[in-house]
Chains A and B, each alone.
Chain A
Amino acid sequence: MISFQLDEEQELIRDSLEGFAREVLRPQARAIDEAGAIPDEILAQGWELGLVAATIPEEYGGSGGTRSPMTGAIMLEQLGGGCASLASAVMASSTFVNPLLDFGTDEQKRDYLPLFAGPEPHYASLALQESQFGFGADRLRTKAERRGNGWVLSGTKRLVPFGDRASHFLVLATGGEAIDAFIVPRDAKGLAIEPEAGTMGLKPLPTAKLSLDRVELPGGARLGGDNGIDAARLLNTLRVASAAIAVGISRTVTDFAIPYAKERVAFGEPIAKKQAIAFMLADMHIECDTMRLMVWKAASQLDQGADATRATVLAQDYVRRHAVKVADDGLQIFGGHGFIRDLPLEMWLRNTRTVTVLDGPAAV
């Protein structure tokens, strides 16, 4: 049955995060970006929202909420609209926790989930990206070899969020056919961690390069044990989440451009009264609405446990094309002011371009 009705909990989350994004995140986003670091107290504030622990079962110390990519998309749109860097920071540990919830063995859940249920931020993240420009999850170069009961991992992972402080990484690697995920502690022998030189967008999000030189892991390090993981689902979830952040940024850009266009006078009238500008704003609004629906469709399929690959590929494709255009048009409306770093337009363009490529190109 087709319905666009958020449930009560989702409405509550949307409204409370909308307030948090507007009052706490948005006013600081520019300064955080300029400083290139997220202050610990803001990270702590983000952690206090309990978003990571929300879906960890009570037996592991969490809040026991239902795991829902749909609710996640609603949250991330709001957070992304406030500050994409912080949204991504909050999401970072989820990229470790959620696959554990979805695919982890009981033992893996028991060993790792309680780490994230405490009041203090705890970091772990997914290591997906690799150095080559032709990267794709179907073309992983990080290799996993069986050795006895255990595994040996070799390869290089790039742009890994919170590489500087993560206790564990979920490293995607392949033994040939299937894609597997391995839990790698930061002190694993053969793992070298170096900070990255920096990134165009999500500047304050610390990222690292992981060099895995024959890292030996016990058999229990393979996520899901003998069953392995549904890599398509893992990646689809990640992509829908990134797309939701992009929609959030688009909405913020549009909302920011509207009052400016009404204020800025050229040739004797506000530029918003000129169709060239008014139609750009209308298109920005149209695409915000439309992108959101595409994200919702993919996210709701993930909630239903269906194969959401097609919907995710379509949503990712659609959001990539349109979110960047919205951010770019927003900047254009501000003219030279959009190019100056006093205003956040250039940041939103950088962040949109970044969140729409960070999750890897579409499909597995």
Chain B
Amino acid sequence: MIDFRISEADQHILDQVAAEGRAGEKYARHFEEHEHEPLPEAFPEAAEFEPLPRLLARRSKEDTPPATFQMLLSFARQSTNGVPLRNALRGGGGLGNAALRAAGTKEQIEKWGGLILAMSITEPGAGSDTKAIQSTARLDGEEWVLNGDKIFVTTGIRAQGVVVWATVDKSAGRAGIKSFLVMKGTQGFEIVRQEKKLGIRTSDTAAYAFRDCRVPRENLLGLDESVPREKGSASYRGVMKTFNMTRPGVASGGVAKALGAVGFARDALAEDGIKVDWQAGFHQRSATQQALIEMEADAEAASLTVLHAAWLADMGRPNNVESSVCKAKGGEVCRTVPQRAMELLGAMSVSHDHLVEKYLRDGRISDIYEGTGQIQRLIIARSILGYSSEELS
């Protein structure tokens, strides 16, 4: 049965998570201004809130399925502007961990799965077009020798290890790209800098350099040393699978910022006597009220696409196109809705007295990382047109 209701028990969890998020808002401005200051393990307020795993343990299996619920949690948490009261990044929770689980052998997953792993793909000259990757890996005896420059590595500072994409054979194109696990402290692996960003400042972003960096032969994820010449090699698909699973998650962040911005605008304007009367007729609405309705419609529409893509994953059904649909919508509303919220709120919305401008700055990345909106449209277009990536690029 088509159903969009959230059970009382789940709503309670979501309310708790949102309350915890709001409690972290008092620290938000400090960490905007002290961008590279590490977050403490826990803030004092953390004690007031039950940890999420405990809340989740009480969930009924009959309720909203887990991946879908994760998206609701993300909406609840990320639609606030709070810094995490508990340092959220744990072993196993990095982007590189997802890649390890998708492409690693059982032994590799056992060995490194408990660490915080970053994912390092992007280079100064290669972002979305991953087959243009220039970093190389050369087998020398029982070791791989890595050389190249990497940028935009999320949690690249805090991570204990990193999954690095490098080509073992440039002439093989995409099929020659393999992923390697490199531990922090390995000789020849240098953290060049920590980036300064428009938003998401509590998430660290690193640039790396690899100079004759040697890692053991068994650090090749999947241990697949053959270099298949045909496109669509297993290891490449393995990595793309991680994107497939993470797109709704990333989209949920963008949607959350849109939901947060429209919520902020709605509440702030209501305090000033300007609010949407849902029962009032179309011709009774002011331009502001109509704008609020459109923002709410856009944010809600995007949220439904996210829930849909996650629900398909819960059901074990393919969600490749739907993941891109929700990523495209999330990317759209994270830009348009906070911008419009500020337009309605006027000059005071840019003041550092308030956090509404943070929605715009923090949301903006959602249309960029894990595939820009344009890349999502390419994926969707290829799928509906039946084109390969060579036929439509």
Contact = CB atoms under 8 A, between A and B. Distances in A.
Interface of A: 1-7, 10, 70, 134, 136-139, 232, 254, 258, 261-262, 272-273, 275, 278-279, 281-283, 285-286, 289-291, 293-294, 296-297, 299-301, 304, 309-310, 313-315, 317-318, 321, 361-364
B366 to A, nearest CB: 15
Contacts of B329: 286, 290
B282 A362 contact: yes
Contact of B298 (A134, A301, A310, A318): A318
A166 to B, nearest CB: 27
Interface stretch (B4-12, B95-103, B128-136, B140-148): B4-12
A304 B279 contact: no
Given A5-B2, A232-B279, A273-B392, A278 B63 contact: no
Nearest to B280: A363
A136 B281 contact: yes
B301 A285 contact: no
14 contacts: A1-B62, A3-B64, A6-B2, A136-B282, A137-B281, A272-B381, A282-B328, A285-B325, A289-B325, A294-B301, A300-B2, A304-B5, A315-B297, A318-B298
Given A258-B385, A283-B377, A364-B281, A289 B2 contact: no
User: Interface of chain A, helix or strand or loop or mixed?
Assistant: helix
Interface stretch (B35-43, B165-173, B304-312, B356-364): B304-312
A218 to B, nearest CB: 31
B64 A1 contact: yes
Contacts of B311: 2-4
Given A286-B329, A289-B322, A293-B305, A3 B2 contact: yes
A362 B328 CA distance: 27
Nearest to B304: A293
A301 to B, nearest CB: 7
Given A279-B374, A317-B297, A139 B381 contact: no
B129 to A, nearest CB: 14
B384 interface: yes
A310 B284 CA distance: 16
Nearest to B71: A2
Given A70-B2, A285-B380, A290-B304, A262 B279 contact: no
Given A310-B278, A321-B294, A300 B3 contact: yes
A314 B279 contact: no
A138 B280 CA distance: 7
Contact of B279 (A258, A290, A364): A364
A4 B278 contact: no
Contacts of B5: 1-2, 304
B300 interface: yes
Interface string B1-42: 111111100000000000000000000000000000000000
B392 A272 contact: yes
Contacts of B283: 134, 136, 139, 361
Contacts of B377: 278-279, 282-283, 286
Interface residues of B, number: 53
Contact of A3 (B1, B294, B376): B1
Contacts of A278: 377-378, 381, 385, 392
A93 B325 CA distance: 37
Contacts of B284: 136, 138
A70 B5 CA distance: 14
Contacts of B64: 1-3
Interface in B310-354: 311-312, 315, 321-322, 325, 328-329
B68 interface: yes
A303 to B, nearest CB: 8
A317 B321 CA distance: 25
B385 A318 contact: no
A43 to B, nearest CB: 30
B259 to A, nearest CB: 13
A283 B300 CA distance: 17
Contact of A2 (B6, B293, B297, B305): B6
Given A2-B311, A296-B2, 20 more contacts: A3-B2, A3-B3, A4-B308, A10-B2, A70-B2, A138-B280, A262-B385, A275-B374, A279-B374, A279-B377, A289-B322, A290-B305, A290-B325, A297-B4, A299-B2, A300-B2, A310-B278, A317-B293, A361-B283, A362-B282
A309 B276 CA distance: 12
B306 to A, nearest CB: 10
A297 B303 CA distance: 12
Contacts of B49: none
Interface string B248-284: 0000000000000000000000000000001111111
A290 B242 CA distance: 24
B387 A272 contact: yes
Nearest to A317: B297
B5, B280, B297, most chain A CB atoms within 10 A: B297
Contact of B381 (A279, A299, A362): A279
B212 interface: no
A217 B2 CA distance: 41
Contact of A281 (B307, B321, B385): B385
A232 B328 CA distance: 34
Nearest to B299: A314
B2, B69, B281, B386, most chain A CB atoms within 10 A: B2
B224 interface: no
B79 to A, nearest CB: 17
B218 interface: no
Contacts of A254: 384
A279 B376 CA distance: 10
A137 B308 CA distance: 34
B48 interface: no
A285 B379 CA distance: 12
A314 B380 contact: no
B391 interface: yes
Contact of A1 (B7, B296, B298): B7
Contacts of A134: 283
B282 to A, nearest CB: 3
A361 B298 CA distance: 18
